[in-house]
């Protein structure tokens, strides 16, 4: 496994940055992955699609709630909503723009690509439960290492809906064997942000050949005595975009999330 | 308060009827409300709408998950799906057909109204948690009395979506004051079938003038020492149909539910 030199062993220096301030920094051009940012505030994946495909995608999300938990949907053409007092076209640190399923640009400002028929889906992110994992004493390696979480496309298929289909994408966090049950228990309490792991151990059963070469994000070390634990990932919609080839899709760059005005505790099941 | 003479103090004689058998009986013409039927199996509200309105309605459901928890959505024109091995046009004991928001027919067979562009939404029903309430020792008056649950339109508005808007509809169950906490605790464990009550006590705060005159279903007695407890209700979509006036909508008759092949325990949060 690859070892990543840690930038900080104590977590992100932006753990206390408030969401509106984080969005302002990103709007003004800061490009960074957001793991560890604005602790306690909910981060979201973004996918904006033409209105014509909106039902198919919303149904895809409904049928695949583990990777695609919908937090909110902005009306066609709307650029702000209850979860963000701002502008969805500029307030994410980095965007990926897809045309006919091909990644054509990574940019910090999606405004030039905006259309009035775009419907923006805000999708839960596993960053939400990372603070809860840390509070339960479960180490979160990529935060400790100051890198992006590793993400992998799997061989597992999502349930399709209309013109939308694709594979399940997962995040991986190495967990000490004695703490796997804690990791399951803690994350199961957040069903609307991916919830419990979809898979524990054996990456090959998911079709993942090499944990040191993630499809998105950065590799992290899996130490002796640790088990790779996999959670459904909000990049799944982007894998569906690549496969389903909508004429236009605007998404966040993996790990570069929208920091919303919702609190993680809003999504905690008591 | 009105007293309803009880047909059975021990629950429905159809508590042990399996879903496929229940659907066969309804398909062959039996018309009955289904509270207490097929205990342990999930019952569902139905709303079928033209494809053109499907995104607006799915978003309405997404924005109002308490009254409109989506269990499954059949593709346009599809008449069966994972939750029912049968025919959605005939397997519900009674249907209501709406044209331009007007109730035009109540029928046991919706086949003459079927169109290939109809998308069927199956929506969670509070009958799911009634067995759990009874197991926790909380009396469920309308089952004891052998009648349909009382349902009320409230003055509370749902969050609209596109062309769909309407009021919140609730069910009411009288609960002994000492057991209200139990009723909350038990039903909160079923968030995907309406979950915890939306309101406890004081019907007037919801705009309900007279508990003995429900808008749908049958009245039940509220005895001294009991508190009226209100849960979000899957008839809410029908109130939205009346207000939003789609060209065609096919719904179940209130209380006359689809008995599905899913188990209530599938929707229990551990």
Tokens of A101: 């399923």
Reported as a single tens digit per residue, the pLDDT across B237-262 is 999 999 999 999 999 998 899 999 99
pLDDT at position B3 over 90: no
Query: pLDDT over 90 for what percent of chain A?
Result: 82
Q: Are A89 and A110 in contact (CB under 8 A)?
A: yes
Residue A117 pLDDT class (50, 70, 90 cuts): very high
**What average pLDDT does chain A have?**
91
Quickly count: other Cβ atoms within 10 Å of residue A236's Cβ: 28
Residue B268 pLDDT class (50, 70, 90 cuts): confident
SS3 content of chain B, % helix, strand, coil (to 5): 25, 25, 45
Options 3.40.50.1000, 3.40.1640.10, 3.40.50.300, 3.40.1180.10; CATH of A19-125+243-265: 3.40.1640.10
CATH 3.40.50.850 fits B19-126+244-267, yes or no: no
Kindly report the CATH number that applies to the domain delimited by A127-232. Answer: 3.30.2040.10
Query: Are the Cβ atoms of B62 and A58 closer than 8 angstroms?
Result: yes
pLDDT at position B30 over 90: yes
Among A58, A63, A191, select the one facing B55 at the smallest CB separation. Answer: A58
Query: pLDDT over 70 for what percent of chain A?
Result: 95
How many Å lie between the alpha carbon of A183 and the closest alpha carbon of chain B?
A: 15
How many Å lie between the alpha carbon of A166 and the closest alpha carbon of chain B?
A: 18
Residues of chain A with CATH 3.30.2040.10: 127-232
Reported as a single tens digit per residue, the pLDDT across A127-172 is 888 888 999 999 999 989 988 899 999 999 999 999 999 999 999 9
Q: Are B232 and B196 in contact (CB under 8 A)?
A: no
| pLDDT value of position A38 | 92
Output DSSP code: residue B121: E
**How much is the ipTM here?**
0.77
Residue A191 pLDDT class (50, 70, 90 cuts): confident
pLDDT at position B192 over 90: no
What is each CA distance from A201 to A137, A222, A225, B103, B180, in whole angstroms? 20, 11, 12, 55, 43
From A41-55, B8-22, B78-92, the region with the lowest mean pLDDT: B8-22
Q: Of B166 and B143, which is predicted with more confidence? A: B166
pLDDT at position B232 over 80: yes
Chain A residues at the B interface, defined by Cβ less than 8 Å, are 51, 54-55, 58-59, 62-63, 70, 73, 75, 161-162, 188, 191, 269-270
**What average pLDDT does chain B have?**
91
Residues of chain B with CATH 3.40.1640.10: 19-126+244-267
pLDDT at position B156 over 50: yes
Residues of chain B with CATH 3.30.2040.10: 129-232
Query: pLDDT over 70 for what percent of chain B?
Result: 95
pLDDT at position A2 over 80: no
Which residue, among A50, A62, A191, would best test binding to B if mutated, counting the most B CBs under 10 Å from its CB? A62
Residue B7 pLDDT class (50, 70, 90 cuts): very low
Which residues in chain A have Cβ-Cβ distances shorter than 8 Å to B63?
Answer: 73
pLDDT at position B4 over 50: no
pTM for the full model?
0.84
How many Å lie between the alpha carbon of B193 and the closest alpha carbon of chain A?
A: 15
Burial status of residue A103 (CB atoms within 10 A of its CB: 0-12, 13-18, 19 or more): middle
| pLDDT value of position B178 | 93
**For chain A, where are the alpha helices, taking DSSP H only?**
19-27, 54-63, 127-135, 141-145, 180-188, 236-244
| pLDDT value of position B36 | 83
User: Cβ contacts of residue B146 below 8 Å, gap of 6+?
Assistant: B6, B7, B8, B12
| pLDDT value of position A64 | 94
Across B100-129, average pLDDT? 95
From A97-111, A221-235, B126-140, B149-163, the region with the lowest mean pLDDT: B126-140
- How far is A203 from A166, CA to CA, in rounded Å? 19
User: Cβ contacts of residue B60 below 8 Å, gap of 6+?
Assistant: B68, B158, B159, B160, B161, B162, B164, B165, B237, B240
For the residues of B151-182, what is the DSSP string, one character each? EEEEEEEPPPBTTB--EEEEEEEEEEGGGHHH
User: Cβ contacts of residue B147 below 8 Å, gap of 6+?
Assistant: B4, B7, B33, B217, B218, B220
Type and span of the H or E element at B129: helix B127-135
| pLDDT value of position B11 | 58
Residue B1 pLDDT class (50, 70, 90 cuts): very low
Across B69-88, average pLDDT? 94
Across B62-69, average pLDDT? 93
From A9-13, B7-11, B219-223, the region with the lowest mean pLDDT: B7-11
Kindly report the CATH number that applies to the domain delimited by B129-232. Answer: 3.30.2040.10
How many Å lie between the alpha carbon of B169 and the closest alpha carbon of chain A?
A: 22
Which residue, among B51, B58, B161, B270, would best test binding to A if mutated, counting the most A CBs under 10 Å from its CB? B58
Chain B residues at the A interface, defined by Cβ less than 8 Å, are 51, 54-55, 58-59, 62-63, 70, 73, 75, 161-162, 188, 191, 269-270
Tokens of A191: 């069903």
Residues of chain A with CATH 3.40.1640.10: 19-125+243-265
A/B interface, count of CB pairs below 8 Å: 31
Residue B235 pLDDT class (50, 70, 90 cuts): very high
Residue B269 pLDDT class (50, 70, 90 cuts): low
Tell me the CB-side half-sphere exposure of residue B258, using CA atoms within 13 A: 33
How many Å lie between the alpha carbon of A161 and the closest alpha carbon of chain B?
A: 8
Query: Are the Cβ atoms of B58 and A59 closer than 8 angstroms?
Result: yes
């Amino acid at each position: 496994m690859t070892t990543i030199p840690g930038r900080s062993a104590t977590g992100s220096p932006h753990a206390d940055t408030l969401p509106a301030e984080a969005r302002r920094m990103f709007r003004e051009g800061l490009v960074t992955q957001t793991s560890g940012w604005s602790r306690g505030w909910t981060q979201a994946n973004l996918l904006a699609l033409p209105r014509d495909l909106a039902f198919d995608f919303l149904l895809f999300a409904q049928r695949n709630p583990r990777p695609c938990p919908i937090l909110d949907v902005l009306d066609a053409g709307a650029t702000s909503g209850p979860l963000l007092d701002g502008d969805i076209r500029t307030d994410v640190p980095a965007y990926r723009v897809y045309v006919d399923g091909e990644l054509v640009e990574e940019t910090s400002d999606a405004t030039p690509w905006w259309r009035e028929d775009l419907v923006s889906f805000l999708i839960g992110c596993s960053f939400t439960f990372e603070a809860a994992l840390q509070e339960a004493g479960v180490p979160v390696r990529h935060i400790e290492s100051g890198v992006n979480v590793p993400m992998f496309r799997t061989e597992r298929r999502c349930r399709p809906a209309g013109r939308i289909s694709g594979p399940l994408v997962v995040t991986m966090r190495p967990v000490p064997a004695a703490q796997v049950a804690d990791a399951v228990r803690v994350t199961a309490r957040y069903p609307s942000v991916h919830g419990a792991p979809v898979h524990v151990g054996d990456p090959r059963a998911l079709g993942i050949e090499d944990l040191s070469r993630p499809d998105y994000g950065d590799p992290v070390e899996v130490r002796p005595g640790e088990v790779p634990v996999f959670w459904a990932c909000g990049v799944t919609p982007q894998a569906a975009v690549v496969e389903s080839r909508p004429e236009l899709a605007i998404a966040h760059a993996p790990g570069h999330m929208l920091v919303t005005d919702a609190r993680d505790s809003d999504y905690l099941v008591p």
